[in-house]
Amino acid sequence: MFQSIPLPPLATTTKVMLTVWIIILVPWFLFAIIGSGMAFEGGHPVDAYLFIAMAWSYPILVAVAFLARRKYPRFVWLPLITGLLMIVEDLVWRFGSK
């Protein structure tokens, strides 16, 4: 009655990047929990909010990349947005603390 549509096989790049993101995700939870608690102790609220956005967005982006891996294989690069947030956070900290 219902026939499933055969899904295309995943590209090697997609498999490797999903594996890398999930391996990084395991220690990321510890990093996010400890870092989120200490983010506001430095006295730089913009830097702290960028850190929180970076720490909390990574698991969400990995989940989106994993769930959309068949339909949108390019979404495997979404967790790189976290790296962009790290760069922005560092720039805000360097130029905002003067």
Instruction: Give the domain ranges of the chain.
Output: 12-96
Neighbours of 58 (CB within 10 A): 24
| Interatomic CA distance for residues 79 and 86, integer angstroms | 12
The residue-averaged pLDDT of 47-75 equals 89
Q: HSE, CB side, 13 Å, CA atoms: give it for residue 23.
A: 6
Please determine, for residue 38, whether its predicted confidence score (pLDDT) is greater than 90: no
Q: How confident is the model at residue 97 (pLDDT cuts 50, 70, 90)?
A: low
Q: What are 72's two structure tokens?
A: 């949108």
Q: Determine contact, residues 61/78, Cβ cutoff 8 Å.
A: yes
pTM higher than the cut 0.95: no
- pLDDT, tens digit (0-9, with 9 covering 90-100), for 65-78: 999 988 888 999 99
| Interatomic CA distance for residues 7 and 89, integer angstroms | 39
